[in-house]
């Protein structure tokens, strides 16, 4: 992963990807702030509707994050963000023999 400082946060990305994989935010307590997922723009409205129909309460984006999209808490209380994002490019498998044994 490659890290860079951005707006008092450390943002980590996998090499060659244009998506934030890990964002470190300074705070009083050590904890996971949120998890984020990307989806296609045309799928976001349908996901929002299904979440609302299931009784999931949508929440406002935390002020310390720049991410738009849908925000809610999972059953354990962890903050979740789903936003429009380009799909990550597939990585090609290394050439040579597979490390998975034949069964």
64: containing domain = 2-84
43-72 confidence digits (pLDDT tens): 999 999 999 999 999 999 988 787 899 999
* pLDDT for residue 23 is more than 80: no
Q: Domain for residue 94, yes or no?
A: no
Q: Domain for residue 95, yes or no?
A: no
Judge contact between 73 and 58, C-beta under 8 A: no
pTM flag (> 0.75): no
Q: Domain for residue 72, yes or no?
A: yes
Q: Domain for residue 96, yes or no?
A: no
Smallest Cα–Cα separation from 46: which of 98, 84, 3, 8?
84
The count of domains in the chain is 1
Q: Domain for residue 20, yes or no?
A: yes
Q: What is the CATH number of the domain that holds 30?
A: 3.10.180.10
CA separation, residue 43 to residues 15, 19, 80 (Å): 27, 18, 17
Half-sphere exposure of 91 (CA within 13 A, CB side): 7
Alpha helices in the chain (DSSP H): 41-53
Q: Domain for residue 14, yes or no?
A: yes
Maximum separation of any 2 CA atoms in the chain, in Å: 52
């Amino acid at each position: 992963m490659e890290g860079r400082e951005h707006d008092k946060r450390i943002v980590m990305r996998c090499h060659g990807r244009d998506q934030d994989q890990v964002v470190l935010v300074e705070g009083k307590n050590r904890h996971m702030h949120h998890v984020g997922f990307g989806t296609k723009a045309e799928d976001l409205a349908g996901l929002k509707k299904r979440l609302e129909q299931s009784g999931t309460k949508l929440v406002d984006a935390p002020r310390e994050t720049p991410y738009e999209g849908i925000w809610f808490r999972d059953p354990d209380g962890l903050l979740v963000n789903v936003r429009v994002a380009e799909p990550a490019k597939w990585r090609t498998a290394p050439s040579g023999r597979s490390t998975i044994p034949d069964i």
